[in-house]
Amino acid sequence: MLTIDSLLRTSSFVNGFWVDAENGDTFGVVNPADGTELARVSDLSPADARSAVVAAHDAFPDWSARLAEERASLLMQWHDLMMENADDLALLMTLEQGKPISEARGEVAYGAAFVKWFAEEARRAYGDVIPSHDTDKRILALRQAVGVVLTVTPWNFPIAMITRKAAAALAAGCTVISKPAEDTPLSALALARLSELAGLPPGVFNVIPTSRPAEVVEALMADTRIRKVSFTGSTEVGKIIMGQAAPSVKRVSLELGGNAPFIVFDDADVDVAARDVLASKYRNAGQTCVCANRIFVQDGIYDAFLDAYRRLHTGLRVGPGVDEESDIGPLINQEAVDKVVRLLDGATQQGARIVLGGGLIDGAAIGGGSHAPGNTFFAPTIVEGVRDDMALASEEIFGPVSAIYRFSTEEDVIRRANDTPFGLAAYFHARDNARIWRVSEALEYGIVGVNTGTISTPVAPFGGMKESGFGREGSRFGMDQYLEIKYVCIGGLSR
Ligand code: SIN
In this predicted structure, the answer to whether residue 439 has a pLDDT above a threshold of 60 is yes
CA of 289 to the centre of ligand 1 (A): 6
Q: Max alpha carbon distance in the chain (Å)?
A: 88
Cα 407 to Cα 50: distance, rounded to the nearest angstrom: 53
In this predicted structure, the answer to whether residue 354 has a pLDDT above a threshold of 80 is yes
Is residue 209 within 8 A of residue 12, CB to CB? The reply is yes
Cα 442 to Cα 464: distance, rounded to the nearest angstrom: 15
- Among residues 255, 384, 467, 473, which one is catalytic? 255
Beta-sheet pairing, 251-255 with 260-264: unpaired
CA of 131 to the centre of ligand 1 (A): 41
What is the per-residue pLDDT across 298-318, written as a single tens digit (0 to 9) for each? Answer: 999 999 999 999 999 998 999
Which candidate, 276, 222, 213, places its Cα nearest to that of 249?
Answer: 222
Minimum CA distance residue for ligand 1 atom 6: 456
**Could you tell me where the beta strands, DSSP code E, fall in 299-409?**
353-356, 381-384, 401-407
pLDDT value of residue 495: 76
Is residue 372 within 8 A of residue 279, CB to CB? The reply is no
What is the per-residue pLDDT across 242-292, written as a single tens digit (0 to 9) for each? Answer: 999 999 999 999 999 999 999 999 999 999 999 999 999 999 999 999 999
96's enclosing H/E stretch is helix 86-97
Q: What would the mean pLDDT of 129-138 be, rounded to a whole number?
A: 97
- Which sign does the torsion angle of CA 102, 108, 114, 117 carry? negative
Ordered by start, the domain boundaries in the chain are 12-256+469-487, 260-458
pLDDT value of residue 361: 86
Give the single-character DSSP code of 285. G
CATH class of the structural domain 12-256+469-487: alpha beta
Query: Are 12-256+469-487 and 260-458 in the same CATH fold?
Result: no
Taking phi over 0 as left and psi of -120 to 50 as alpha, with beta for the rest, 147 belongs to left
Torsion, Cα of 283, 284, 289, 290 (10° steps)? -10
What is the per-residue pLDDT across 384-404, written as a single tens digit (0 to 9) for each? Answer: 999 999 999 999 999 999 999
196's enclosing H/E stretch is helix 185-198
- Among residues 174, 289, 467, 473, which one is catalytic? 289
Which candidate, 382, 388, 426, 429, places its Cα nearest to that of 404?
Answer: 382
Closest atom of ligand 1 to 455 CA is 8
Q: Does domain 260-458 have CATH number 3.40.309.10?
A: yes
- Coil, strand or helix at 382: strand
The residue to mutate among 161, 287, 473, having the most atoms of ligand 1 within 8 angstroms of its beta carbon, is 161
Closest atom of ligand 1 to 154 CA is 3
Closest atom of ligand 1 to 456 CA is 8
Q: Tell me how far apart the terminal alpha carbons of the chain are, to the nearest angstrom.
A: 74
The contacts of residue 106 (CB under 8 Å, 6+ apart) are none
Closest atom of ligand 1 to 284 CA is 2
**291: annotated active-site residue:** no
Cα 32 to Cα 11: distance, rounded to the nearest angstrom: 22
Q: Which residues of 475-485 are buried (b: 16+ CB within 10 A; e: fewer)?
A: beebbbbbbee
Minimum CA distance residue for ligand 1 atom 5: 288
**255: annotated active-site residue:** yes
* Residues flanking ligand 1, CB < 6 Å: 156-157, 160, 232, 255, 288-290, 456, 462
